[in-house]
Amino acid sequence: MALKETPSVAVVCGGPSAEAEVSRTSGRCVAEALQTSYANVSLVELDDFIAGAQGAARADVVFPALHGPPGEDGTFQGFLEMIGAPYVGCGVQASACGMDKVIAKQLFRTRGVPVAKEVVVYRSDGVQRGIEKVRSRLGEDVVVKPTNQGSALGVLFGDDLTDLAGAIEAALEYDERVLVEERLYGREITVAVLERNGFEALPVIEIVCPPGSWYDYEHRYTPGLSDHVMPAPLPEDQYRRTQEVSVMAFEALGCRDISRVDLVVPEVGEPIVLEVNTMPGMTPTSLYPDAARGAGLSFEQLVAHFIEQAYARSR
């Protein structure tokens, strides 16, 4: 099959993020897959792309395979808007809101998306005052998260007062604000949402890690340390509801093209949305490509769909 000469594509990866190495792996995988369909595909480091973006040569479509700030929080998307470059994925507002876990939860509530109870601790509060707020509202069995990081970076569990203090201090090294949520128990679930003739929830996946562990950075990106069970073994009504609230979360943020919704699904009751990843990983161990294959889309077809959709928006 002859390769398409247009559109030309720049896959952008790397940058200063704590997730830069994961981004580079995603970028390589995306670029290699796109090279099976398009003749003009380049893989570009974020800094190099920005430095050369004002030059005469510019790609027809940008695929920002970027994870974490500044590539996933709306900053890079704003730059692309400024220079008039069509790109894959969520726009400025959805990217910014999706990266900020506190703002995202506020938007989820406006759409009726079920979420966990939370307390926001500010650096100016001090750790002790933050602990008092958390204990009075949530107790001590909680999860502590930086508000603007992905890939589970900085996420810790506080089971008692000592652990909680250490967890808040560690999370404050990433951000000025820390999100502390009640700890939920149930199945770790993820739902990929794809814009294709509307918003489509792909097959639901359960993430299974070895006993005593959870889906942290190591278990996300180390082959063999987690299993993706697809379709997730949920009762039919709960399975459908999980897909439904995932699309609701996608809509609440104003996402487009692609996002992945992470949830906890208890034994009985509503699935609880934890967060939306507006540019999910595209590595060999990533969940979104698995879900797409479950829906009958090869990785090559998936990334080509995103390019064609972004290119059509520019016409």
Residues 154, 256, 281, 288: which is the catalytic one? 281
**72 catalytic, yes or no?**
no
* Contact assessment for residue 309 and residue 9, using Cβ atoms and an 8 Å cutoff: no
The Cβ-side half-sphere exposure at 308, using a 13 Å CA radius, reads: 11
Q: Which tokens belong to 68?
A: 């974490």
Distance, in Å, from the CA atom of 166 to the CA atom of 82, rounded to the nearest integer, reads 41
Helices (H) and strands (E) in the chain, counts: 11, 13
> How far is 95 from 46, CA to CA, in rounded Å?
17
151, 226, 246, 259: which is the annotated catalytic residue? 151
Q: Could you confirm whether 182 is annotated as catalytic?
A: no
Of the residues 221, 239, 256, 257, only one is catalytic, namely 221
Residue 68 annotated to the active site = no
Active site residue 281: yes
Taking the C-alpha atoms of residue 272 and residue 184, their distance in angstroms, rounded to an integer, is: 9
Do 122 and 177 contact (CB within 8 A), yes or no?
yes
Chain position carrying tokens 């951000």? 175
Alpha carbon distance 16, 81 (integer Å): 21
111 assigned to active site? no
Strand pairing report for 258-265 and 272-277: antiparallel
Contact 66, 87 (CB under 8 A): no
Name the active-site residue from 26, 277, 286, 288: 277
Check 19, 72, 73, 181 and give the catalytic one. Answer: 19
Which of 10, 77, 69, 80 has the alpha carbon at shortest distance from 38? Answer: 10
Catalytic residue among 27, 71, 275, 286: 275
The single residue of 220, 262, 286, 288 carrying the catalytic annotation is 262
Answer yes or no: 275 catalytic: yes
The helix (run of H) or strand (run of E) holding residue 69 is none
**Ramachandran category for residue 154: left, alpha or beta (phi over 0 → left; psi -120 to 50 → alpha):** left
* Active-site annotation, residues: 19, 151, 221, 260, 262, 275, 277, 281
